[in-house]
Amino acid sequence: MEVKKSKGANIDDSRASIVIVGILFVSSMILASFSYRAEIDLGNKNSGLARTQDGPIQEEEQNTPPPPPPETPPQIDVPQPPTDAPTPEIENTDKPPVVVVTPPPPPVIVGPTQAKVVKEIIEFPQVEAQFPGGNLELQKWIVKNVIYPQTSIEMNEQGKVYVSFVIEEDGSVSGVVVEKGVSQDLDKEAKRLIRAMPKWTAGENEGEKARTRCRIPINFSLK
């Protein structure tokens, strides 16, 4: 006997197939949505890369914001150096150092000085120089002012010392020379006497005062 299926049984079989197909369709839709989101994420990450028609992928410019400026360190006040401290030298400067040259002062121009003319000494003038009061007063002055050296007294030294000297135009005595002596002590005393004389009356030659030379002997005697 042939068994026949009823219409209800066929409907149940088709309903199960429809449910399975629906489950597969929903699963495929869910899987597709996940894959689409993954592609969107990859696209956002690679948005900086642009593919040219014939070349490799080039990196697109990204408008990235500039980095924040670095923090400014706190300012430290440095104390000023003392005024007595030497100024530091600046090396490797482009400008050469300025050298201040002070010119020397102008020389002082002194007019020609008139050289003093030394007149010639007259040996034999027309008018002889004279001691104040004459020769007698000269002898008295020598006897009064002579100091006989003690060593010469002990050694019994005596004799005449011939002395020459110059009487200047003003009557002063200069250029005392012992022309003939006796001993060192007596010669020294004779020169001292002549230098200690007062001023003489100057000699004259051709109506003018002249420098004249005089010679006198000074006699040292113990008697």
The tens digit of pLDDT for each residue in 41-81 reads 555 555 444 444 444 444 444 556 666 665 554 544 444 54
Question: Measured at the alpha carbon of residue 164, what is the angle toward residues 162 and 165, in degrees to the nearest 5?
Answer: 150
Query: In 3-state terms, the chain is what percent helix, strand and coil (to 5)?
Result: 30, 20, 50
Residue 95 inside a domain? The answer is no
Q: Compare 149 and 94 and report the one with higher pLDDT.
A: 149
Residue-number span of the structural domain to which 18 is assigned: 8-44
- Give just the sign of the alpha carbon dihedral 130, 131, 134, 136: negative
In-domain check, residue 54? no
Residue 67 is predicted with a pLDDT of 66
Q: How far apart are CA 131 and CA 7, in angstroms?
A: 199
30 located within any domain: yes
Structure tokens at 159: 């004799």
Of residues 150 and 115, the one with the higher pLDDT is 150
Give the whole-angstrom CA distance, residue 45 versus residue 104.
86
Calculate the CA 164 to chain-centre distance.
62
Shared-domain flag, residues 125 and 215: yes
CA distance 90 to 69: 35
Taking alpha carbons only, the member of 178, 198, 196 closest to residue 188 is 178
Amino acid 18 reads: I
Give the CATH number of the domain where residue 165 resides: 3.30.2420.10
For residues 183 and 62, the model is more confident at: 183
Residue 70 lies in a domain: no
**pLDDT (average), residues 139-143:** 93
pLDDT-wise least confident of 3-12, 179-188, 199-208: 3-12
Rounded distance between C-alpha atoms, residue 1 and residue 143, angstroms: 214
pLDDT of the residue at 27: 75
> Predicted confidence band at 215 (pLDDT cuts at 50, 70, 90)?
very high
- What letter would DSSP give residue 31? H
pLDDT of 1 above 50: no
User: Looking at residue 164, what is its pLDDT?
Assistant: 96
**What's the CA gap between 58 and 35, in Å, rounded?**
26
Query: What does the mean pLDDT of the chain come to?
Result: 75
What pLDDT does 99 receive? 58
Looking at residue 101, what is its pLDDT? 62
Amino acid at 139: Q
pLDDT band at 84 (very low <50, low <70, confident <90, very high): low
**Residue written as token pair 């002549």:** 194
Q: How confident is the model at residue 95 (pLDDT cuts 50, 70, 90)?
A: low
* 145 inside domain: yes
pLDDT value, residue 21 = 75
pTM of this structure? 0.48
Q: Stretch 164-187: mean pLDDT, rounded? A: 95
Please count the helices (runs of H) and the strands (runs of E) in the chain: 4, 7
Is residue 72 one of the residues assigned to a domain? no
Query: Could you tell me if 216 and 125 lie in one domain?
Result: yes
In a domain, 203, yes or no: yes
Number of separate domains in the chain: 2
**Share above pLDDT 90 across residues of the chain, in percent, rounded to a whole number:** 44
Backbone phi, psi, residue 209, to 5°: -65, 140
Residue at 139 is within a domain: yes
Which residues contact residue 145 at a Cβ distance below 8 angstroms, ignoring those fewer than 6 apart? 193, 196
State the pLDDT at residue 223. Answer: 79
